[in-house]
């Protein structure tokens, strides 16, 4: 018998619980699930958490809520339910990567502002010019965008911090490869890259940190809002 939920991330666990319930009870399309009150008691979660998970499954065509009647299985295709769970796990991973980046990049950026050479500032500016030019012409700039950030990491001139960033590269790279079926993610942050560059060039640590936080917060919220 399924046990109550006590792990995070909660939304994935609720969806997984409902998926297992549908399978174990052999529910088919059109069958009714227990009431929200019964599901809350079975899982030990709040009504708000359950409603958010149900809304997500409704948006993906797995469940259907009928006013005054209850919650029904709209599509009992196991692959559809699993794909929904995979989507949430990818989303959660991306959010965790952004959180890790924000912590590491603050220390890296402090050192970059302090240690970057005039020649490196010039090289960084050339890459930024390509990013901005492609952005202004409506072209994909994700490759150059990634290069811009990795140059900032490198120019901190601390091999340990740089390698720490590289250790999460296989995950952070996903941020530049149109994750979660987003067509043009994070382009709203591109104009801020110019501000970040000038803050580094001016060796203004506080300004650079504030702008970088703003960039990562925008990326975080973009991913967080995906459903």
Q: How many domains does the chain have?
A: 2
Whether residues 196 and 120 share a domain: the answer is yes
Of 76, 102, 125, the domain-final residue: 76
Choose between 224 and 80: higher pLDDT: 224
**71 Cβ neighbours under 8 A, 6+ residues apart:** 32, 33, 35, 36, 54, 63, 64, 65
Would you say residue 133 lies in a domain? yes
Convert the pLDDT of each residue in 109-118 to its tens digit.
999 999 999 9
The confidence score (pLDDT) of residue 180 equals 55
Choose between 174 and 148: higher pLDDT: 148
Whether residues 16 and 104 share a domain: the answer is no
CA distances from 166 to 172, 222, 227 (A): 9, 23, 29
DSSP of 177-212:
S-GGG-SSTTGGGHHHHHHHHHHHHTT-HHHHHHHH
The confidence score (pLDDT) of residue 140 equals 84
Would you say residue 85 lies in a domain? no
Rounded distance between C-alpha atoms, residue 193 and residue 153, angstroms: 14
The confidence score (pLDDT) of residue 79 equals 55
Rounded distance between C-alpha atoms, residue 161 and residue 116, angstroms: 15
Whether residues 60 and 109 share a domain: the answer is no
The confidence score (pLDDT) of residue 2 equals 47
Check: pTM over 0.75? Answer yes or no. Answer: no
Q: Which domain holds residue 29?
A: 10-76
Whether residues 43 and 115 share a domain: the answer is no
DSSP 5: P
Would you say residue 5 lies in a domain? no
């Amino acid at each position: 018998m399924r046990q109550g939920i006590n792990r995070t991330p909660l939304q994935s666990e609720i969806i997984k619980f409902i998926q297992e319930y549908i399978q174990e009870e052999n529910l088919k399309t059109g069958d009714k699930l227990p009431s929200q009150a019964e599901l809350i008691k079975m899982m030990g979660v709040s009504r708000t958490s359950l409603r958010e998970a149900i809304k997500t499954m409704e948006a993906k065509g797995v469940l259907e809520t009928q006013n005054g009647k209850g919650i029904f299985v709209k599509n009992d295709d196991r692959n559809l339910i699993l794909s929904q769970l995979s989507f949430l796990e990818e989303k959660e991973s991306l959010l965790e990567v952004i959180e890790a980046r924000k912590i590491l990049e603050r220390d890296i950026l402090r050192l970059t502002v302090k240690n970057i050479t005039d020649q490196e500032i010039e090289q960084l500016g050339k890459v930024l010019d390509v990013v901005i030019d492609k952005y202004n012409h409506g072209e994909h700039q994700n490759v150059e965008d990634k290069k811009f950030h990795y140059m900032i990491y490198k120019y901190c001139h601390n091999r340990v911090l740089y390698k720490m960033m590289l250790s999460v590269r296989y995950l952070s790279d996903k941020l530049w490869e149109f994750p979660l079926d987003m067509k043009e993610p994070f382009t709203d942050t591109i104009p801020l890259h110019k501000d970040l560059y000038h803050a580094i060039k001016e060796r203004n640590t506080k300004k650079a940190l504030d702008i970088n936080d703003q960039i990562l917060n925008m990326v975080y919220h973009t991913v967080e809002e995906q459903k």
